[in-house]
Chains A and B, each alone.
Chain A
Amino acid sequence: MFNLTNLVQKAQQLIEPTLSIAGPTSSERDRRPSKATLFRHQFRLPESQSPLQEITAELTLSPHHTTRGTPGDVTSPEKERGQGNHYVGKLHLSEQYLCFSTQGSSFLNSASLSSSSSFTGQTHGAGPAGNGFTLPLCAIRRVERLHSQSYMFALAITTWNGLADSKSKNAVPSGQKLTVQLAGSRIQCERFCDGLKKGLREGVREVENLRAVVMQCYSEYLLSEDGDDKSHGDGGKKTREHPDTGLGMVFKYPGNARKLRDATKIRLWREYLRENGRSATLIRQPTFHKLIRVGLPNRLRGEIWELTSGAFFLRLQNPKLYTETLAKYSGRESLAIDEIEKDLNRSLPEYPGFQSEEGIGRLRRVLTAYSWTNADVGYCQAMNIVVAALLMYVRPWLTLILSNTSRYQSETQAFFLLSILCDRLLPGYYSTTMYGTLLDQRVFESLVEKTMPILWDHLVKYDVQLSVVSLPWFLSLYINSMPLIFAFRVLDVFFLEGPKVLFQIGLAILRINGEELLDATDDGTFISVLKSYFARLDESAHPKSENPKLRAVTRFQELMVVAFKEFAGITQNTISEQRAKHKDLVLANIESFAKRTSIRNLGPESKRLSVNDLSFLYDRFFATVYAREQRALIMQQEADRKAKAGKAKATEIVTGFAGSSVEQGRVGLGPSDTQMDYDGFREFLAGIAKWAVTDSPSPPPESNGTQSPHSYFGGSTRTRPPMSQWGSGPEPADHDFMKRLFRRWDTDMTDALTLQNVVTGFAQVKGTKDIMSNISYFFELYDDDGDGRVDREGILRISEALLFLSRRGLGDTASPSPSLTDLHAGSPERGNRDEQFLSSVSAFIRRCFEYADPDHPSNQGNRDVDEVKDDLDNFAIGADDEDDLIDFGSEPNTPVANSPSQSKHHTKTPLSPVTSTTNPLTPTQSNSSDKDRHLKAKEANLALDPNKPLHITLPTFRMVILADEILEQFFEIGFSASFKLADAPLPSSASSSSNLTTFSNAGKQVAANAAVGMAGVVGGAGAGVVPPGKGLRGMLDNIVSDGMRVAAEVRRRMDEAQKEMDREAKSGQGRERDEDDEEEERGEVGAKDADLLEGAETADVDTRSGSTPDLLGAPQEGTEVKTTRNRSASDASRRVLEFER
């Protein structure tokens, strides 16, 4: 029973990640953030953490005088129960953290496996509000199970509080102790403890790391400073230097420290920290929240911001990311860097720190590093102001004792704060479309409408747009709107309680100024009312009051009270709901704007396509790209899930927090320079041209070339139907022609196409009605070196391409021409036309070879015409069967008979004039004895002799095409008509998709994983080829594949001939030598094989022998874990799990 539920739970945890990335395509329900996301947000944990266990518990904090007791001193819980503070809440365990919060929160997976908001309580992942703690497991020094009544399960946790002090051997670290009573069944409790034990064991490795990070915290300095801690300890302590707490240390903090009562605040905080732990081991009690509401003291501000925002945990996880990023990209240039450079002198320029090179340098480095770690966001104006503000308070030690000494290290705090801000607290604010900013403005407006209807009506009446006024508040976190000292106080609360704070403050501003705002009838007045309000925030809110206490209340204090009392009802949940409500509209607006912009900016080439076509291409392009991205993401998740040994992920911090919580897959969300790789191009084409759909869908798709999708959907069948690399759309073909088209369109040689590339490409293919330029275009596709010639290989490739393009029939695509209909009247003829196309292609090959020029005209052989003729006969005979098949139907090759060829009687003389002997690689040709010996082979080879280079030129190619009516038609309209854009709607269901004009529609199409749309397109195309019920289709397929076989056969023979020639060229001595070579070669390979195998074996052995001891040794060495000493056999006895360093 227990096992079963456990299993179900595990399975759900595994399934879950996909829900969070389901994106805009999935239903409303799935779009809600996953529980894991909510959990991480609630405790501000890195992306690598997931809610493994949770249990209801009571936290007991010992009274102050015992907090610094020695670790061995364990008070019995019974005795403690009476004293100290008790909090009931939920205890959560993740991979590396133990968290407790009194605020109702649950992240357990319910049976429905949905991720609804109801179960998360009111916080909705708001942030570490409520009382409790977020303890890195490595900060826990010791966990003991306490004696207790049988129904109780109590743990005493001792932390590494004051870690930095414990460096010297003798010093007793001022461990801090808390007691947690678990409330749950024995099994639940045991399970929780097992998980905890495991996590603690792993955490031991991180202790040094933790120490390094903690050492940089001001709190350590603050608490060591007061000496009483261990005044009798070692002498080394006194040398502790004052940590660098931001630019403010050097350039003064904004505001008057006296007026801000900074010293008093510091004293209060010292007291609080001493009793409740510092940095990593801090415990949140009611006083903590109060202390934050009254404003943080300057020197501690950075550290508390870091803690409450969770940036601390990111830094803990990857202390070197910042330095490494800067080092890695040093000297590199980017658009973001240019933009940053322009703004450096415009970031709080009035602050002395930013008039100095030092301050500017810090600002530059933090912004630059972030732009590299999150290239999608890069740099957005307003980030400069936010970072500038952060840098005033944020900076760890100048002289780092434990971490590396790079000077860059010092801005790490600011860097992670910025990361947290951009990626979590202000999602989408600074993205390339700024959708988060626009969305939150919409949310803000709707909240104003709800809470202040009269003001709202007034705004509507006078057409004053609130968002133009409030946008800067949100975008720069009030830093640019209020005097700095007040903006920082908003930030203090914001980092702790999350984005809702911005809304609460904004609403309060409007409420307080309501009267005056009701008089404002235009933007100007509206703005000036607020401007003067901000300028007088430090004045008394009630200057005329009799009550001196009331008089002392400043306008800012009033603002805080209104914000957090009157608008207490605005919770994170409210914001989330409103965001969900308005999201689609906001994104649709952005997208339609982006689409208009993008289409207008496509340049003059694009004018050759209709607006509808452009619109269609735009939709289709992004639909394809995003559908692919989404699929890749899902597959990646699946792969990750499989590889979930649970260890690798900790390193992936960058991708980690930019990852699953961020939705992807919409123009409105993402960066605008989207590109499509070759596979994407194939998929794109498959939805537009029916020839681009593969004949042989995978699995094992031969047409897939090097792309092996197997690895992708290896184990995915477990939870859902296997996902193809192509989604539910048709699997695209992979043909040389498509590659060539791709390369041709990829004018910037980036191995990827932009929308611009695609549009320009289509403008060339479809934008011209001129047959000559179409022919040239095709020719150029195959003129690899651009010398105006296409060689034998190219000719064969062209014919292959023609067969490829026509294999699903061209009848319907060519039919628009009335002349054609006249020629081959009636639809029953369509089959015939397709057959005729085949014979045209075969005639094409013949004619090409016939009219081809040899590469060395001077040596043109008039040598043995008869001999050549014989060869040709041989070839023709060899190819006879296929020819018959191809020549089925009419006789399109009659013109060949009239051609001015030297051949006298045979119409099948594709290679006639070419018997050059000039190739130095084939000396045997002039050697008659050799010729005798290999006559048979050469008869075949000569015809296809790859060593007799020949080529056709564009005029020849043109002539050959124009000589054939069907090919002519193909180049006139057929080819360009084979791409179905908006203006040439496909027969059946596809027409609906061609009517799409806005991307939002297409977005919804992606929503269904482009399933309906794409399936529709293909279905329509397929249905259009042959009227249902006619047996023609099957027949045609045979012919087509036969045609392909001809081409394949031709190729095979060429290859053989090539091999033959190579062999002969290698030696003048003949076949004995050949055999020797071969023999030798075979021998060699065998030897090598053996070597290889041996190598593999030893490697195998090596890895095995290398890894085994490590694995076994891990628990014994490296960590000094005295594991689970069972002091008594009884269950109720005390278990100690000690971690000592």
Chain B
Amino acid sequence: MADSGASQPKPSSSVKLVLLGEAAVGKSSLVMRFVNNDFQENKEPTIGAAFLTQKCNLPTRTIKFEIWDTAGQERFASLAPMYYRNAQAALVVYDITKPSSLTKAQHWVAELQRQASPGIVIALVGNKYDLASPSGGDNAEDADAAPAAEGENPEEEDSADARRVPTKTAKAYADEESLLFFETSAKTGMNVAEVFTAIANAIPETSLKGPRGVGGQTNLNRQEDARVNLTGGRAEGPKEGCAC
């Protein structure tokens, strides 16, 4: 990664990213936070999927995210293949207060692994972290540095908080499937930029489209080249600044 882009000082490339997950887990809110740094009720009617873009500046390059935020209603799931078909990255979101949403997320992960481009970078994101017990300051750290979640945290379940999906469970699953993993809050903004930065870093150079007009060939070869071995350690790799 270090010696990449030697010919071009700071290449810019676009990355197609798709958000998937059960309705109301906060997909649109996450995008809104990422793109506008804002949190508010979604007023835009979404037909199929909403399209947004946001740039992410890494030290070595600029990533332009083309974000497809898929519609919430269950029946729109049939349309999902249209959106993830040629995506390079996916954010699979669940709601930490709703265990069924993790099941759904696991389904999407399986679907992506089976149907999407082989090199797709998948991040599993447990949203609405702000609803978890405020007492667990260490929890926050756990979520932040994803792999650190070793503690049993049994009190997590019985304290008054709304968390229903233990960090450990989701983390274990993410590790098993080699996914990036974060717990976020679109409401407070916690970890939101980090998710996108981590994804930007995880996109293999070879799968990147060049700037406009250059990418033709690269693009066609993208699927073959795009294989990257994502490990748990990779996820918490060097945090590069993201201009968002």
Contacts and interface: CB of A to CB of B under 8 A. Distances in A.
Interface of A: 339, 343, 345-349, 380-382, 384-385, 431-435, 437-438, 441, 461-463, 465, 467-468, 471-472, 475-476, 480, 519, 521-525, 527, 589-590, 593-594, 596-597, 600-601
B103 interface: yes
B57 interface: no
A437 B47 CA distance: 11
Contacts of B53: 524
Given A346-B44, A596-B114, A521 B212 contact: yes
A433 B74 CA distance: 9
Question: Counting chain A CB atoms within 10 Å of each CB, which of B80, B209, B212 scores highest?
Answer: B212
B77 A438 contact: no
B43 A349 contact: yes
Contact of A480 (B45, B76, B79): B45
Contact of A524 (B64, B73, B85, B104): B64
Given A346-B42, A468-B68, A468-B83, 10 more contacts: A339-B73, A348-B45, A432-B74, A465-B86, A471-B48, A472-B48, A480-B45, A521-B219, A522-B14, A593-B81
A519 B48 CA distance: 25
A521 B216 contact: yes
Interface in B92-148: 103-104, 106-107, 110-111, 114
B99 to A, nearest CB: 12
Interface string B174-204: 0000000000000000000000000000000
A522 B66 CA distance: 9
Interface in B39-89: 42-49, 51, 53, 64, 66, 68, 71-83, 85-86
B110 A600 contact: yes
Contact of A380 (B66, B75, B220): B75
B78 A471 contact: no
Contact of B111 (A434, A461, A468, A596): A596
Question: Counting chain A CB atoms within 10 Å of each CB, which of B14, B74, B79, B82 scores highest?
Answer: B79
B215 interface: yes
**Number of contact residues on B: which range applies?**
35 or more
Nearest to B106: A600
B111 A597 contact: yes
Given A384-B45, A465-B86, A597-B107, A525 B75 contact: no
A434 B212 CA distance: 34
A601 B103 contact: yes
B45 A381 contact: yes
B82 A381 contact: no
Contacts of B83: 468
Nearest to B114: A596
B212 A381 contact: no
Contacts of A468: 48-49, 51, 68, 82-83
A475 B78 CA distance: 14
Contacts of A346: 42-45
Contact of A438 (B78, B110, B114, B216): B78
B154 interface: no
Contacts of A339: 73
B78 A594 contact: yes
A527 B14 CA distance: 14
B71 A381 contact: yes
Nearest to A603: B103
Contacts of B46: 381
Contacts of B238: none
Interface string B218-236: 0110100000000000000
9 contacts: A438-B79, A438-B82, A465-B86, A467-B82, A521-B215, A524-B14, A524-B53, A593-B80, A593-B81
- Please provide the 3 A-B residue pairs with the shortest distance between their CB atoms, ordered closest to farther: A472-B47, A471-B48, A346-B45
A353 to B, nearest CB: 15
A343 B110 contact: no
A525 B64 CA distance: 12
A676 B221 CA distance: 47
A999 B148 CA distance: 43
A521 B209 contact: yes
B163 interface: no
Contacts of B212: 519, 521-522, 525
A803 to B, nearest CB: 43
B94 to A, nearest CB: 14
Contacts of A525: 212
A432 B76 CA distance: 8
Contact of B86 (A461, A463, A472, A527): A463
A527 B73 contact: no
Nearest to A604: B103
A521 B86 CA distance: 13
B33 interface: no
Contacts of A590: 78
A390 B86 CA distance: 36
Given A522-B14, A593-B78, A601-B103, A480 B219 contact: no
A420 B69 CA distance: 30
B16 interface: yes
B213 A471 contact: no
Given A381-B47, A593-B78, A522 B209 contact: yes
A463 B220 contact: yes
B67 to A, nearest CB: 9
A339 B43 CA distance: 15
A468 B104 CA distance: 23
Contacts of A601: 103-104, 107
Nearest to A335: B74
Contacts of B68: 468, 523
A467 B82 CA distance: 8
B48 A463 contact: no
Nearest to B109: A600
Nearest to A476: B47
Nearest to B16: A523
A594 B75 CA distance: 10
Contacts of B80: 593
Nearest to B212: A521
Question: Counting chain A CB atoms within 10 Å of each CB, which of B14, B48, B209 scores highest?
Answer: B48
Given A480-B45, A522-B66, A524-B66, A465 B85 contact: yes
A523 B79 contact: no
A1117 B82 CA distance: 63
A461 B78 contact: no
A434 B78 contact: yes
Nearest to A469: B51
A385 B68 CA distance: 20
B75 A385 contact: no
A19 to B, nearest CB: 28
Contacts of A433: 75, 78
A463 B215 CA distance: 10
Contacts of B76: 381, 434
Nearest to A345: B43
Nearest to B222: A463
Contact of B45 (A385, A521, A523): A385
A302 to B, nearest CB: 22
A347 B42 CA distance: 12
Nearest to B53: A524
A339 B83 CA distance: 23
A352 to B, nearest CB: 15
A1051 to B, nearest CB: 48
A527 B81 CA distance: 19
B76 to A, nearest CB: 7
Nearest to A378: B75
B45 A463 contact: no
A22 B47 CA distance: 33
Given A461-B216, A600-B110, A382 B82 contact: no
A465 B68 CA distance: 12
